[in-house]
Structure 1
Amino acid sequence: MDEEVVTESRKETEVAPALVSVHPDGHYVAVAVGPELRVFDLIGGCAASLVDDSVDQPFHKDNIRAIRFGANGKLFVSAGDDKTLKIWSSQSWQCISTVSSEKRVTAVAISNDGLHVCFADKFGLVWVVDLNQPSRDKKPTPLLSHYCSIITSLEFSPDNRFILSADRDFKIRVTNFPNNPLNGAHQIQSFCLGHTEFVSCLAFVPAQEGPHSLLLSGSGDSTVRLWDISSGALLDTCEVAVKAGLLESNGKAEEHDHAVTNLCTTLDGLLVAVSIQSLRGIVLLRCNVSAQTLSVAKVVSIAGEAFIPTCLANNPLTRELWMVTGVSNLPGYNYPSLARVLVISGIDVEQEPVVLGDNKIPGGEKLLETLQGTASVDDNAFLVAAEAVKAAMCNLLIKKQYPSENREYRKKTRNDRKLKE
């Protein structure tokens, strides 16, 4: 009975961080918070009208855990705890396909040729959807598995040769993406091993010349690491929480308070924006591609409000970094979904970045009303939201250690055993 109460309590307090994604041509900005998907048309200066004939509103019935645009900008996907992945045309904002998952979805990726969508579920299985299938309700096919380890991030390499999957068990798997993925992906290129806590995010360093083999990863161990995926070799490690003054070197006791939550490349990979739990701002890393090193370029602080980013997205055309903070189902507050959007301009090696005021954000007041909602939120709510995200991330991604007697009890009360009985 006690075990059931604990499980139910954890379920009630489970929250999802707000997410942001920017169209590769800077046409649209999308924000997901809770089950809500909000898209703003920067060219038209208005909210995009999403149409999904398969369901009534809302489009998702539970927390959205992953959103992203395809590399060519024609597709957008959203997926999450309602065990549903939706594929949208970003030209008409019509939902062109709804895919059902057996388990809750934790990560998504779109192949760079736009022919396949992959998603990972909470049990560590990666599925692939062939977009050439004629039916609207497409069937996913198993692609690969991490064997009961929650997958936190999926990425296709820029040349489409590999699909990368990161998990809570500290590892990054580099798998050859086959010509016929519906038969499964059985050839592993390498493993990138070195993180000491869950891997939270992945991003490729755009290659101006040569192979697309340099990968960045962020982790619960408060580091960003640079890898060569062809061999799995660790090239450099940057202790970003230490460099930002959040954590003393080898300060193991506070690691989980300063997990790297998101990262994205800017300036063709010369700079890397990093968000860290507890940091009111971002860290900009300088990536030296020829020397294969990482170093801190600057820390950009956000003054005047309690803003700790939960997700980042880059607009390569304008060199603007979009950030969102927020959470679903904020405990203790009557906010079904809480989001705040900020933009940093002047992302440059030499130039000093500037956090734009609300009146200078592209899209202005209309954009903020669309992506944030119209409710006025007190500043303290965002601090509570940051703590709620931190607690949810720890509950989900940090493995719990149980005494031997508890482990035996949990084995006996597993759901699959109950079904057999």
Structure 2
Amino acid sequence: MEGAKMDARVEDDSSNTQEDAPMEESEQNNKDTEASPALISVHPTQNSVAVAVGSDLRVFNLLDDCAVSLTEESGGAYHNDSIRCIKYGTNGKLFVSAGDDKLVKVWSTDCWRCISTVVSEKRVSAVAISNDDHHICFADKFGVVWVVDLPGVDGTEASSFLNKKAVPLLAHYCSIITSLEFSPDGRFIVSADRDFKIRVTVFPKKPLDGAHEIQSFCLGHTEFVSCLAFISTPDSPQGILVSGGGDSTVRMWDIISGSLLDTCEVGTKVEQVESDATEGNCSTVTDICTIAECTLIAVAIQSLRGIMLLTCDLPSRTLSVTKVVSIVGENFVPTSIGSSISGGLLWMVTGASKLRGSDVSSLSRVKVISGFKKSSPNTSEQEPTVLADGEIPGRAKLLEKLQGSISIDEKVFLAAADAVKTAMCNLLIKKQYSDEKREFRKRTRNDKKNKQ
């Protein structure tokens, strides 16, 4: 495993089984009012769509055209703090949600019941599901990736998964992991962190014994890495990796060698489109989504009212900006995007929870872009169009479930946009502490377990 100095600036986390440690009043107030950005995830074959806002997990069944009621059968509780990551498995049979309450909940999507609740020692920042659905991996705020085995999901009773324990798989050591992805062939697990690193690790045959073989490091980002995605190609079964970060770039990698194939500067394009864009982190790439069977990559950027589409030229291994699909008439800056392997739709959500100074506790707004032609290799023929609310699959019923309310006050929406910008900064930029505050946090930390 890679080594690194212990960084006292990394956020401390209290134990899940102990009371919170004392903290300064201003720090407690910030924790209580910290907004969490809305997240969206789409079933691989677009059977359902899930949105998380704060501790609220909302799911809509597109096949049956109805809202989903979640069932907790694992003996645990529903989420009671902000959900920071949600993800479907490769075949859509499993769904995972996790976050600040240190609970990793595994859901069976056939009837949306929770089949396992795993307790993390620290807050969870990223999740991934192995391609065979046999292992759940999650990363905590201390830079450790944990693994849980869930063999034989098909036809197994939920009681078989109770009290599952996670074991360490690998670690980045004191650097918060922002994204976890399995390669398309399942051979590798890729982890990105706030210290500009991307690590490609061979996923072992016996994950519970740890992952000891590092395939490569993808080094080149000059700021934190915020998101990862894979482009699947017949010539590269392991896939081509793309990443986005705080340096306003999208980069393409060969994960076998760790070599940088190309870099696309998206910040310059955002400044041209957004007249009120300012210097700083306004061009941070917050999410990336590859469009199935297309050479297009959708990119969400912190200040962009819409999404940017990049074209990946596979023969030359290059990236280029194709177009920007703007959301006209709304201050819609996506916080999360997702797509399926069928349907040709790109799903987007914006919003946040814990809105300060508002009567609305959480807000989310869902948009869908259509027009991605999977059969057309010519990206110039792609005509992505933002669908009206009445054209979205599920229409009013879906929006009522995923948004909570179809009618949204513009002032509340603006407040949510500001809250999202602050939330993204809190998530991705390391906090700086004075020597005095650092010593205070060391004295009051209580995350050490009492050994039996």
TM-score class, shorter-chain normalisation, is over 0.9
The alpha carbon displacement at 1:94 in A equals 1.1
Structure 1 distance, partners of 2:413, 2:147, is 36
Q: How does 1:136-175 map to 2 (within 5 A)?
A: 136-175=162-201
Q: How does 1:36-75 map to 2 (within 5 A)?
A: 36-54=56-74, 59-75=78-94
Structure 2 distance, partners of 1:401, 1:253, is 23
Q: Which residue of 309, 314, 325 maps to 2:350?
A: 325
Structure 1 distance, partners of 2:437, 2:71, is 47
The alpha carbon displacement at 1:61 in A equals 0.5
Pair 1:33-2:45 in alignment = no
Cα pair 1:149 1:169 within 8 Å, conserved = yes
Structure 2 distance, partners of 1:253, 1:381, is 23
The TM-score, its normalising length taken from structure 1, stands at 0.93
Structure 2 distance, partners of 1:247, 1:369, is 31
The TM-score, its normalising length taken from structure 2, stands at 0.87
The alpha carbon displacement at 1:412 in A equals 5.0
Q: Which structure 1 residue ranges, 5 or more long, are not aligned?
A: none
Identity %: 61
Cα pair 2:179 2:191 within 8 Å, conserved = yes
The alpha carbon displacement at 1:318 in A equals 1.4
The alpha carbon displacement at 1:375 in A equals 6.4
* Residue identity opposite 1:265 in structure 2: T
* Residue identity opposite 1:141 in structure 2: V
Pair 1:81-2:106 in alignment = no
Q: How does 1:173-252 map to 2 (within 5 A)?
A: 173-245=199-271
Q: Are the structure 2 counterparts of residues 412 and 307 from structure 1 closer, same or farther at C-alpha, using a change threshold of 3 Å?
A: closer
Structure 2 distance, partners of 1:412, 1:333, is 33
* Residue identity opposite 2:438 in structure 1: R
Pair 1:97-2:97 in alignment = no
Report which stretch shifted further, 80-89 or 12-21.
Answer: 12-21
Structure 2 distance, partners of 1:3, 1:139, is 30
Report which stretch shifted further, 228-237 or 208-217.
Answer: 208-217
Aligned length: 412
Structure 1 distance, partners of 2:58, 2:432, is 39
Structure 2 distance, partners of 1:246, 1:260, is 16
Q: How does 1:219-298 map to 2 (within 5 A)?
A: 219-245=245-271, 254-298=279-323
SS at match of 2:147: strand
Structure 2 distance, partners of 1:25, 1:418, is 44
SS at match of 1:99: strand
Q: Which residue of 360, 365, 380 maps to 2:391?
A: 360
Cα pair 1:18 1:32 within 8 Å, conserved = yes
The alpha carbon displacement at 1:163 in A equals 0.6
* Residue identity opposite 2:218 in structure 1: C
Structure 2 distance, partners of 1:379, 1:81, is 29
Q: Are the structure 2 counterparts of residues 315 and 160 from structure 1 closer, same or farther at C-alpha, using a change threshold of 3 Å?
A: closer
The alpha carbon displacement at 1:98 in A equals 0.7
Deviation digits for residues 49-82 of structure 1 (CA, Å, limit 9, x no counterpart): 21103468x7210011111110011101111111
* Residue identity opposite 1:230 in structure 2: I
Structure 2 distance, partners of 1:306, 1:413, is 39
Structure 2 distance, partners of 1:11, 1:162, is 35
* Residue identity opposite 2:398 in structure 1: L
Deviation digits for residues 338-360 of structure 1 (CA, Å, limit 9, x no counterpart): 11001001024213211111111
The alpha carbon displacement at 1:89 in A equals 0.6
**Equivalence for 1:313:** 338
What's the Cα RMSD here? Answer: 2.2
Structure 2 distance, partners of 1:51, 1:86, is 12
* Residue identity opposite 1:93 in structure 2: W
Q: Which residue of 423, 433, 441 maps to 1:392?
A: 423
Pair 1:15-2:35 in alignment = yes
Deviation digits for residues 174-219 of structure 1 (CA, Å, limit 9, x no counterpart): 1111000101111111111111111110000111333324100010
The alpha carbon displacement at 1:413 in A equals 4.1
Structure 2 distance, partners of 1:83, 1:356, is 37
* Residue identity opposite 2:412 in structure 1: A
The alpha carbon displacement at 1:3 in A equals 7.5
SS at match of 1:410: helix
Structure 2 distance, partners of 1:43, 1:213, is 30
* Residue identity opposite 2:383 in structure 1: E
**Equivalence for 2:3:** none
